[in-house]
Amino acid sequence: MNFSELLGAVRRHPEAVTIPSQWSQGRACFGGLMAALLFEAMRARVAPERPVRSLAITFVGPAEPEVPISFEVEVLRQGGAVSSLLGRAVQKGAVVTLIQGSFGAPRSSVIDVPALLAAPMKSLEDSPELPYIEGATPEFIRYLAMRWGVGGMPFTNTPSRSMGGWVQLRGDVVEEPVTEAHLLALVDAWPPATLPYLNKPAAGSTLTWTIEFVQPTPKVSTLDWCRYCATIEYSRDGYGHTAAALWTAEGELLAISRQTVTVFA
C-alpha cells in the first residue's frame, strides 16, 4: 500500500489499520507514517475551517507492522476559535503513539511577520540521493527520496551541526495536493541529525516531536521536491535536541519542527 492508500484506510476504518512491513524501520513502523495516520483520524473530528496549528507527538513504543492498530481520538475542548484534541494509536491494548493537537481558525491581527529565509543548500542536481538498499536501509525508504544538500549522511564521521537537503515521496505516488499528513512523513523521513557524527551504524529514533504548520499551506504537489534542514542545538548522554524546518523548493516555509532524538552509541 502506498501513502495515499494508507491515508484512505485510516479515514474509512480508523479502528483497525494494518501497516505493511514495507513501511517499517527496524522492528517498528515508520514514525512519520504513524503520526500522519493518527493526525488524519484527528483531522476528521475537526471542522475544515480550523486547520491544524501544532502537534505534540510522543512515540510511546514501537508499533509493529502487520498487526492491526486502532487510531482513537478524543476531543478535549471546542473553543470559540481553537479545538484541542488527543489522539492515541493503540496496538495489542497498549498506546504506541500519542498526539496532542491544536486546530485553530484564523483571527484578524495587526501582526504580520514573514518567515525567515530557507537554509542555503546544494542544488537538487548536485545533492547525492540515499538509495533504497534492501536489508541495509530502512524499508520505508522505498517510498521516500532524500538527497543530501547539507551536512553528511548517517555514519560518515561528518561532525556538522546541520543536516538536510531535498525530500519527496517516491514509488507509486498519486499526484495530489500535499496536506499536513504528507508533511509529517516528509519531515520525519530524515534520520536524527546526530547520526552523521558516527563512523559506524547505530540505532537512533525520535522520542518526542513538536511540529507547527504554516497556514494556509503553500500549494505543493506530492510529486514536488521540498527542502529540509535540521540543526543540533545540544546532544549528550545519548539524547539530541534538534530544530528543523521544511520549505517548498522555492523557499516558502511549510513547517517548523523540534525533536528530542535518542542515539544508542
Q: In this predicted model, what pLDDT tens digit does every residue of 38-63 receive, in sequence order?
A: 999 999 999 999 999 999 999 999 99
Q: In this predicted model, what pLDDT tens digit does every residue of 176-215 receive, in sequence order?
A: 999 999 999 999 999 999 999 999 998 888 999 999 999 9
Task: Delineate the domains of the chain, giving CATH numbers in brackets.
Answer: 1-105 (3.10.129.10), 117-265 (3.10.129.10)
Give the CA radius of gyration of the chain.
Answer: 18
Q: In this predicted model, what pLDDT tens digit does every residue of 228-248 receive, in sequence order?
A: 999 999 999 999 999 999 999
Global model pTM greater than 0.85:
yes
Q: Could you give the CA distance from residue 167 to residue 246 in angstroms, rounded to a whole number?
A: 9
Q: In this predicted model, what pLDDT tens digit does every residue of 131-167 receive, in sequence order?
A: 999 888 999 999 999 999 999 999 999 999 999 999 9
| Position 70 confidence tier, pLDDT thresholds 50, 70, 90 | very high
Task: Say what the pLDDT of residue 148 is.
Answer: 97
Q: Could you give the CA distance from residue 249 to residue 234 in angstroms, rounded to a whole number?
A: 28
Q: Could you give the CA distance from residue 183 to residue 67 in angstroms, rounded to a whole number?
A: 25
Is the Cβ–Cβ distance between 186 and 146 less than 8 Å? no
Task: Say what the pLDDT of residue 136 is.
Answer: 85
Percent of the chain with pLDDT over 70: 100
| Position 102 confidence tier, pLDDT thresholds 50, 70, 90 | very high
Task: Say what the pLDDT of residue 114 is.
Answer: 93
Q: In this predicted model, what pLDDT tens digit does every residue of 104-137 receive, in sequence order?
A: 999 999 999 999 999 999 999 999 999 999 888 9
Q: Could you give the CA distance from residue 252 to residue 82 in angstroms, rounded to a whole number?
A: 25
Is the model's pLDDT at 26 over the cut of 90? no
